[in-house]
Amino acid sequence: MKEQIIKNFKEIFGDGGEIRVFFAPGRVNLIGEHTDYNGGHVFPCALTIGTYGAVRLREDRVLRFYSGNFQENGILTGSLEDLECKGSGEWTRYVKAVIASFGEHGFITPVGFDFYCLGTIPNGSGLSSSASLEILVSKMLTVLFGFDVNMIDASIYSQYAENRYVGVNCGIMDQFAIAMGKKDSAIFLDTSDLKYEYVPVRLDGIRIVIGNTNKKRGLGDSKYNERRAECESALAQLQGICTVQALGELDESSFEAVSDAIKDPVILKRARHAVYENLRTVRAVSALNNNDIKAFGELMNQSHISLRDDYEVTGKELDTLVEAAWAQEGVLGSRMTGAGFGGCTVSLVKDECVDQFIENVGRLYKEKIGYAADFYVVDIGDGPQEL
């Protein structure tokens, strides 16, 4: 792949100079959705699909960009003097945002560069193509300019880039999972303090299957920020009667004891999801450690129901994929993954049933929705690297 990326780069930007190639993975969250900005636990893993980038430094302050996924845009030009991102619909805003964020944290990009990227993550799928690009650029800047930035800090700077410059009030999970990915392991992350552990994912005879609804959605255009605001409102109401810094600090009994403080029934449902989803995630990881894949799958199913009924972020497309998955032989669990409002599902499927699963779920989805879903049988990969 490296040779092909370099060849593509030269066709766009010409020969000459040192061309270096980097890769950052996408991610899928196995369980723990909309908990990362509520001080709860998440359980994501990096994937072997992701974003490739080739870069060549310049002697001036000019930035030139080209995406193999948006060839119709041609070469896009910018400058280190102008890293304004808001209002831009171009993918380059994520690159500019990371450069700006690094600068705010004391790591100034000294010269411009030519940058070619190619993503193997479907855009808008909910597998974090944007965070993958952000971490790719973070890794690239760190290596090229010798910045003393570890990958946890890189994930924090990348999250800040998306919050501050892109305008999406995302939590830390996507950037952290990609920056800290480890082959054949998922990351059990406590988002309240960034304590984490790698948990080996032993799925003997079971595959992870991603179902892409092909309903495009952008986080900034969705109700993602609205859900976060609703959780902040719930927390503020609870803080009127108890000392709690995040919804993730509560267990079921302590939440139910104070839930009357939340007067709006919709806000109450949002808070209930945040609390119960966090606890489901803790139990799911315990089940995996005990090699109880059946219990893990059942918790995945419960997660989807909560996201559908209490958090209301699924929608017809995701529900159709998940409900069709639940009806198939060999399925241990299935749920939406990512922000919701379109995007993807993640299912655990017995190896011998995968082909039939894809055929049946795909047919049922197309019959109900009117267009096809795509499916990916994925493996858990490592974090970002220079190739």
Residue 360 placed within a domain: no
Is the model's pLDDT at 202 over the cut of 90?
no
- pLDDT reported for residue 343: 87
Question: Cα separations (Å) of 231 from 222, 234, 303, 311?
Answer: 16, 5, 17, 10
Is the model's pLDDT at 219 over the cut of 70?
no
- pLDDT reported for residue 218: 55
Considering 36, 114, 174, 310, which one is annotated as catalytic? 174
Q: How many domains does the chain have?
A: 1
Instruction: Give yes or no for a contact between 154 and 179, defined as CB atoms under 8 angstroms apart.
Output: yes
Residues 321-325 have a mean pLDDT of 98
Residues 115-133 have a mean pLDDT of 85
Alpha helices in the chain (DSSP H): 2-13, 92-104, 129-145, 151-161, 173-179, 224-238, 252-258, 265-289, 293-309, 315-326, 354-369
Whole domain around residue 109: which residue ranges? 2-200
Instruction: Give yes or no for a contact between 149 and 142, defined as CB atoms under 8 angstroms apart.
Output: yes
- pLDDT reported for residue 161: 94
Residue 45 placed within a domain: yes
Residue 92 placed within a domain: yes
Question: What are 64-107's pLDDT values in tens digits?
Answer: 999 999 999 999 999 999 887 655 458 899 999 999 999 999 99
Domain harbouring 34, CATH code: 3.30.230.10
Q: Is residue 174 annotated as part of the catalytic site, yes or no?
A: yes
- pLDDT reported for residue 220: 46
Residue 372 placed within a domain: no
Residue 6 placed within a domain: yes
d(CA 79, CA 58): 11
Structure tokens of 258?
A: 């104070």
**∠ Cα 126 127 132 (to 5°):** 120
Residues 199-203 have a mean pLDDT of 90
Of 132, 168, 135, 128, the residue nearest 151 (C-alpha) = 135
Of 112, 15, 96, the residue nearest 64 (C-alpha) = 112
Is the model's pLDDT at 385 over the cut of 50?
yes
Is the model's pLDDT at 128 over the cut of 80?
no
* Model confidence band, residue 225 (pLDDT cutoffs 50, 70, 90): confident
Question: What are 2-41's pLDDT values in tens digits?
Answer: 999 999 999 999 999 999 999 999 999 999 999 989 999 9
Question: What are 37-65's pLDDT values in tens digits?
Answer: 999 999 999 999 999 999 999 999 999 99
- pLDDT reported for residue 344: 92
Look over the chain and give the mean of its residue pLDDT values, rounded to a whole number.
Answer: 93
- pLDDT reported for residue 255: 96
Residue 86 placed within a domain: yes
Question: Cα separations (Å) of 348 from 267, 314, 337, 341?
Answer: 32, 19, 13, 21
Question: What are 137-147's pLDDT values in tens digits?
Answer: 999 999 999 99
Question: What are 180-193's pLDDT values in tens digits?
Answer: 999 999 999 999 99
- pLDDT reported for residue 167: 82
Structure tokens of 18?
A: 């040192």
Is the model's pLDDT at 326 over the cut of 70?
yes
Residue 229 placed within a domain: no
Residues 254-259 have a mean pLDDT of 95
Residue 255 placed within a domain: no
